[in-house]
Amino acid sequence: MHKKEKTLLIGPYPPPYHGTSIPFKLFCDYLNNNLLSSDELCLLNTQTGDKALISIFNPKTSLKLVGLIWRILWRSLSKKKIIVFGSQRFVTTIGLILLIFKPFGKEIHLRINGGAYDKYLEQQPIFLRKIIIKGLSQFSSVVVETSLVASKLKNLGVKRLKVCPNYRVLPKKQNKFNKKKAQNKIFFLYTGVVRRSKGCLELVQAFLDLKRWLNTNKHNYDLTLNIYGPIYDTKIIEYFPDIEQKGVFFHGNIDPHLLKKAYEEADIFVFPSYWKTEGHSGAVIEAMSYGLPVIATSWRANSELIQNKVNGLLCKPRDVTSLFECMKLLVLDKKMREKLGNAALDFSKKFDAKVICKDLASNFKLISFKKQ
C-alpha cells in the first residue's frame, strides 16, 4: 500500500483571533473539510500572543522560542512537506532554520502575512539581508499577500513567488441598504487594534470636527463612531475627555463572530491606518463584504483594495483634514454611499476564503480533494 505523504502545517491558531491567526485557521478548516483524510495533516500551533510587542531578548521569550524551534524541528523530521504561516519576523526565522532539511528532499513553503516584507528586509543589516534573500529562493514557494511586496521581492531576485491576498468567510446575507433606521442617523465603524499608528487618534479628531461642522452649518445628523478591537494605546481615550457623550464608543476586544451585528448596523467603515506592516486588512475585507463604503488611507497596499471613488475613498495618512473631508462627503451624499457600498460588495468576492484557500492548497500541492 502506498504510504500517504505527511504534511506539517505551522502557524498561529486562535484564540486569540488576530490578523495572522484568522487566515491560518480558515486554511486549516478548509483542508480538513476538503482533503480525503485529515490524517495527512499535522498542525503545530505557534500562538504566543502579539510578537510585535515582545522583545526576542526577553529571557522568557527566548526560552519559549527555543522550545518552539525544538518542537518544529522534531515534528519536521518525519514530514515530507512543511508549510509555515505567520508574521514576517516569525516566518523568516523559522523558514531559514528549516532549510537544514532541504538536502533531504523536503518541500518547504512559506506564507508571509502582512504587506511590508520589503521594509522588513531594508531594516536588516546588509549581510543578514543578503542571507535572507538568498534563502528565500531556496524554498519550494514563497507566498506573499500583496502585489506590492511581490514586485519588490521579484526585483531583489527572489524566485518562486506567488501572490495570494488576505481572505475571509463572506457573509451569506449581503443585502445592505434595507435597514429600518432614521435617515439622519449615521454609524461610523472601525475594527482592529486601537493604537496611534492605526490612525485611531486622527479618526476620533476628524469625527469630532465633523460633528461640530454639521452643527455649525445646521445639518440635522446624529453621528456615532463605534470602535472595536484590543486597546493598546489608552492615551487615545484619555486624550478626549467625556468621549462617550460625544458619540464615540471604545468597545474593546470582541470575538469576530460577534462583530456581525456591528457591520450590519454600520453605514461607513473608516480605516485610517499608517501601520508599518499594513497589507490587505482583514477588517477592510469584512467591511466590504457587508456592503460598506470604506474610507482608507492611501498607505502601502490599501490601494489594492480601495479604488478612490469607485468602491471607497482614499485619504492622506496622518491627515485629519483629508479624513474629515472624506467622512463629510459620505455623510452628505447618500447616493455615493450606496454606489461605493455596492461596488465594495462586488469587489469583496475576490477575497472569498473558499477561493483563496483552494488556490493556496493548489500552490502547496495538496491536491487530494474530495469529489465535488
**pLDDT tens readout for residues 203-253:** 999 999 999 999 999 999 999 999 999 999 888 888 888 899 999 999 998
List beta partners, residue 142. 110, 161
Q: What pLDDT does 65 receive?
A: 80
CB 137 within 8 A of CB 159: yes
**pLDDT value, residue 273:** 97
Largest CA distance in the chain: 79
**pLDDT attached to residue 37:** 60
Q: What's the CA gap between 214 and 231, in Å, rounded? A: 29
* Bridge partner list, 180: none
For residues 3 and 237, is the Cβ–Cβ distance under 8 A?
no
The CATH architecture annotation of domain 185-351 reads 3-Layer(aba) Sandwich (3.40)
pLDDT along the chain (372 residues), means of 10: 70 87 94 73 80 51 82 93 94 96 94 93 94 96 96 92 96 60 87 95 97 96 96 89 93 84 95 94 96 97 96 98 98 96 96 96 77 44
Place of cell 518562486: 160
Note the pLDDT of residue 173.
Answer: 64
pLDDT per residue as tens digits for the range 126-185: 999 999 999 999 999 999 999 999 999 999 999 899 999 999 999 976 555 545 566 789
Rounded Cα distance between 28 and 41, Å, is 9
DSSP code for 103 = G
Closest C-alpha to 97, from 120, 64, 114, 74: 74
Q: How far apart are CA 25 and CA 12, in angstroms?
A: 8
The residue to which cell 491627515 is assigned: 319
DSSP assignments along 280-344, one per residue: S-HHHHHHHHTT--EEEES-TTHHHH--BTTTEEEE-TT-HHHHHHHHHHHHH-HHHHHHHHHHH
Compute, in degrees rounded to 10, the torsion defined by CA atoms 206, 208, 211, 216: -100
Residue labelled with grid coordinates 445646521 = 218
Which residues are bridge partners to 81 per DSSP? 7, 107
Residue of 355, 357, 361, 365 lying closest to 140 (CA atoms)? 365
The answer to whether the 7-167+353-363 and 185-351 domains have the same CATH topology is: yes
CATH numeric code, 7-167+353-363: 3.40.50.2000
3-state secondary structure of 168: strand
* Contact indicator for 136, 92 with CB cutoff of 8 Å: no
Dist. CA 14–CA 256, nearest whole Å = 11
* Cβ-Cβ contacts under 8 Å for 37 (sequence gap 6 or more): 4, 368
In the prediction, which pLDDT does 41 show?
A: 85
Distance of CA 337 to CAs 73, 243, 284, 292, Å? 52, 26, 16, 8
> Domain ranges in the chain?
7-167+353-363, 185-351
Residue 234's pLDDT is what? 87
Q: Would you give the distance in Å from CA 286 to the centre of its chain?
A: 10
Task: Record the pTM.
Answer: 0.90
